[in-house]
Amino acid sequence: MSISSPTATWDTIQNVFYRKEEVYTMSWNVHDLSEYIVAVGKNGGPIAMIRDDRLPLPSSRHSGKPKITLYTSSGLPISSPISWDLNTPILMHLTTSSLVVLSDQGIYRIYDLSNIANYKQYTLGDEVRESGVLDAKAYEDGMVILTRRLEFVEVRGWRGGRGVPLVGAGLTEPPTSWTLLPPDISPTGHIQLLLSTNSTILTLDTLEKIDQRISRAPFSHIRISPNGRFLALLNPNTGILWVVSSDFGRNLSEVNIAEFGEGLPERVEWCGDNAVTLGYGNGKVVLVGPRGESLSWDYPPSAYILGEIDGVRIISSGTCEFVQKVPDCTLAVFSPGSSHPAAILYDALDHFERKSPKADESIRSIRPDLANAVDTCVDAAGREIEVTWQRRLLKAAQFGRAFMDLYNPSDFVTMAQTLKVLNAVRYYEIGIPITYEQYIASSPSTLIVHLVSRNLHLLALRISQHLGLRPDPVLSHWASAKIIRSSQKGVDPSDRGLGDDESVCRAIVEKFEKEGEKGVSYAEIARKAWENGRARLATMLLDHEPRAAEQVPLLLQMKEEKIALEKAVDSGDTDLVYQVLLHLRSTLSPGDFFHILDDSISPKLKPAVNLLQVYARQADRDLLRDFYYQDDRRTESGCLEMEEAGQQEYAEERLEHLKRAAKSFGESKERLFESKMVDDAHRLLTLQQTYERELDHKFSFSGLSVNQFIHKLLLEGFTKRAERVRADWKVPDKRFWWIKLKALAERKDWEGLEGFAKFKKSPIGYEPFVTHLLSLTPPQPTHAASFVPRCDPRLRADLYVQCGDWGKAAESAKERNDRGKLDELRRRAPNGIAQREVDEVIRRVGK
């Protein structure tokens, strides 16, 4: 390519500069793209094509079932052709790392680009298969299918997830065209469809259908611009290309395209966000500006156009070209007659190299804008494909820098670094014509994924290191690829150095260690080995995996249950342990299951045994019972029965569980006391039931504790029965007195209380009589006071005070000749009667 001037490729549409650059001369042997169904990956991605067998065979060149072939953008084949045994694909779509092909029966296959022989096949379910697929559109993370029943189904992610139907569009005939708005540009943040019927445009998503009431319909093409703000719509009847804001609120341009070519274009693509490109069947490509001015090129017999975020890629049998609006920074430097500081700086470098004094003069003239000039040159360098111009621009920037006191070189360094990467991947053998804008927008790590999917591991690794990215995705992919290659048929596994387990494992581990990488998932690689029938290699690799969460699923798959369980326990992640336990429970016989868990054999598994109990307690009581039984855990069995007893609503059943609990406890020497207690509980409930029956179920006692039982019996006046319970349970005197005191007080049975107090000497003293009666609501000071004389003489005065009887308080102080107490009472007595009463006593003392 001769390099005369950077502007040699420029052209204008109504004073706006566009440039068309030839990126590659195609190395392939494809003559007419129109014979193929073509898919092209975004951001300089590869080209997939399959001969369209619906077309009449033009020549004898083609025979047999068509195959899918993959090429780089420079036309080099990427892999051997893929046979396609289903009907003609409805959709071929390239994501960064895979190729998706959909047949009209609703079957789709996802090919891993790095290992094309390996694909996953999914179906869209019976309904879709029966109706058949009419059309489909895809984006990076999913696709939407239009069935022959005119229903739209969304498939999210490429993992074979279930299709989600969108809201019914109510169509009676297929839309004249439709387009898919991916989540990143749709206004809702979820996918959205725009579809044109004969009368209007509908917006459709999973929730609602909106009629946009566009009377200009129908449209044969609907395209949304890369930034999601504009729509290009082509009406086939009027030939009007209409550009409108994506909310249909602002009319931007209307162009009649009749003059550009015969018939309608086959493809309509945006060229960045600025212009629309039309691709005709005969290889004519027209770039249309807003006012209808245009540029056109011919690529006979045919060309394929693909819109990128910053331009449009034109692929023809001979070349791969890229058309874009000239970026502002480039314009600033190179546009004819530019007086931008960057242009002056660029010229100054020229003068400098020719040792012309004008250099200094120029620099002087832009001194205040030097930083801007330098930055613009750096930016412009990024937008050039030609290395010559990149260098020249960076040099100009460097030259300008020299005249600045302060300059942060990081932009410059980053750009130089980035260009090194971009030039490397653009090299025709690699064939990724990614632009700076695309690279920034799609992120460096996406580029790495792209390279890895092409099995360009070394390049990917070097670029990762160059950019300071983590190398583990590359290494991990490399290792998987190595295993797959070494496991392919035709390679003798015993062939040393190529395929045997030890050397493969060693090679992989050595490589990882050399690159100093800890983050690689050995488990992922081990899984690849396992999937390729290399169980031994898988085990060896798995040993290097530090993360249990990664190891365990594969170990289970490999039927290494016990190791899996141990690893899960080691990890401390209880969910992982559950995962293994539940897996074992569903795959092993109960005997084997318990055997693995027997902690006398494997004490390390104690935590797993604990978790099993926690789980079974909530979800599988029978399992728990069996486990306790076979493991001789009598105490646990007993407790379990006790708990269940408590949850029974009927006494008979509760008694049954209590019986079993007593039995379980009884079987352990250590638990005789507990067994006895449960017996007592059983006896208590039985007695409560008996009394209820005897009293014609007028009272309910069941479930009460011994204390509550006695209390209730006393409260209801069944003193004899209360005495019997007291005797049977050997309730100590003190406790019984408390119960009776409270029950009688609650009955307000003051006589009974009096009798009870007199019956014999209270083992709890009489203060409780006083304090308890005072604590009732409402308090009973009068009755309380009647017990004060029985209390300790030293306390009586205070107790009377609590009862509110200041006179008696003073009296009792007097009886004890406690002058101090009397004085205190006098001080504390509230005004009025109380004080007079105290005074009265004091007067008597004084006498």
Partner 1 sequence: MASSASPLPGPSRLNQPPPAPSTSGDSESTVPQPPAEKGLDVNILKELAKSALVESLNDIQGAKTLILEPALAGPLGLVTEVALLKHQAVDKMFWLEPGPLNVNTRNVVWLCRPKIEYMRTIAEQIKAQQTNPSPAGPLMYTILLVPRATELCRRVLEDQGVAGDVTISEFKLELIPMEDDLLSLEMDDVARDVFLNGDDTPIYYSSLALMTFQRAFGLFPRILGKGDGAKKLADLLQRHHNTDPAQYGDIETSSQVDGLIILDRSVDWITPMLTQLTYEGMLDEFVGIKNSHIEVDSTLLDSNTAPAPSPSALPSTPVTKKRKHHLSSQKDKLYSELRDQNFAVVGSRLSKVARRLEGDYGGVKNLKSVSQMKEFVGKLGGLQSEQQSLRLHTGLTEQLMPITKLDTFNRTLEAQQNLVAGYDPTSQLNTIEDLMNQELDWQTILRTIVLMSLTNGGIKPKLLEAFKRDFLQVYGYQHLPLLINLENLGLLIRSGSGTISAAQNQSITFLRKNLRLIVDDINDLNPNDISYVYSGYAPISLRLVQCLTMKNHLSSSSSSTTQEGQNGNGFATREKPKAHPLNGWKGFEDILSVLPGDNVDVRQHGEKRDNPLVIPDDNKLTTTVVFFLGGCTYTEISALRWMSKQFKGRRFLIATTGIINGNTLIESLGDRPPVQLKQST
Contact window for partner 1 (CB under 8 A) among 31-39, 54-62, 317-325, 569-577:
569-577
Q: Is 199 in the site for partner 1 (CB under 8 A)?
A: no
Please, which contacts does 525-531 make with residues 24 or more away whose CB atoms are closer than 8 Å? 525/476, 525/479, 525/480, 525/483, 526/554, 527/554, 528/479, 528/480, 528/483, 528/484, 529/483, 529/487, 530/554, 530/557, 530/558
Min dist. Cβ of residue 614 to partner 1 (A)? 5
Q: Mask: binding to partner 1, 615-634, rule CB under 8 A, as x and -?
A: x--xx---------------
Rounded distance, CA 844 to CA 825, Å?
A: 15
Rounded distance, CA 654 to CA 365, Å?
A: 100
Structure tokens at 353: 């190299």
Q: Which is nearer to partner 1, 72 or 675 (CB)?
A: 675
Q: Which of 263, 572, 789, 793 binds partner 1 (CB under 8 A)?
A: 572
**Bridge partner residues of 120 (DSSP):** 110
- Which residue type, as a one-letter code, is found at position 238? T
Q: Which of 700, 755, 833, 845 binds partner 1 (CB under 8 A)?
A: 700
Rounded distance, CA 390 to CA 175, Å?
A: 47
Q: Is 673 in the site for partner 1 (CB under 8 A)?
A: yes
Q: What is the largest CA-CA distance in the chain?
A: 146
Overall size of the chain counted in residues: 847
Q: Is 662 in the site for partner 1 (CB under 8 A)?
A: no
Rounded distance, CA 835 to CA 518, Å?
A: 88
Q: Which is nearer to partner 1, 241 or 469 (CB)?
A: 469
Q: How many residues belong to the site for partner 1 (CB under 8 A)?
A: 70
Min dist. Cβ of residue 346 to partner 1 (A)? 40
Contact 326, 9 (CB under 8 A): no
Q: Mask: binding to partner 1, 157-176, rule CB under 8 A, as x and -?
A: -----x--------------
Q: Which of 31, 129, 148, 190 binds partner 1 (CB under 8 A)?
A: 190
Q: Which is nearer to partner 1, 738 or 750 (CB)?
A: 738
Q: Which is nearer to partner 1, 698 or 827 (CB)?
A: 698
Nearest Cα neighbor of 569 from 539, 614, 610, 617 is 610
Q: Is 677 in the site for partner 1 (CB under 8 A)?
A: yes
Q: Mask: binding to partner 1, 641-660, rule CB under 8 A, as x and -?
A: -xx-xxxxxxxx-x------
Q: Of 27-66, which residues contact partner 1 (CB under 8 A)?
A: none
Count the Cβ atoms, other than its own, within 10 Å of residue 255: 22
Decide: residue 357, CB within 10 A, 0-12 exposed, 13-18 middle, 19+ buried.
exposed
Helix (H, G, I), strand (E, B) or coil at 581: helix
Q: Which of 189, 336, 368, 468 binds partner 1 (CB under 8 A)?
A: 189
Decide: residue 679, CB within 10 A, 0-12 exposed, 13-18 middle, 19+ buried.
middle
Q: Is 571 in the site for partner 1 (CB under 8 A)?
A: yes
Min dist. Cβ of residue 604 to partner 1 (A)? 13
Q: Is 582 in the site for partner 1 (CB under 8 A)?
A: yes
Contact window for partner 1 (CB under 8 A) among 174-182, 368-376, 383-391, 698-706:
698-706
Structure tokens at 770: 């006083």
Nearest Cα neighbor of 44 from 457, 388, 422 is 422
Min dist. Cβ of residue 811 to partner 1 (A)? 24
Q: Mask: binding to partner 1, 701-740, rule CB under 8 A, as x and -?
A: -xxxxxxx--------------------x-xx-xx--x--
Structure tokens at 566: 């141990």
Q: Which residues bind partner 1 (CB under 8 A)?
A: 162, 188-190, 205-207, 470, 472, 518-519, 546-547, 571-576, 578-579, 582, 606-607, 610-611, 613-615, 618-619, 635, 639, 642-643, 645-652, 654, 673-674, 677-678, 680-681, 684, 697, 700, 702-708, 729, 731-732, 734-735, 738, 742, 764, 768, 771
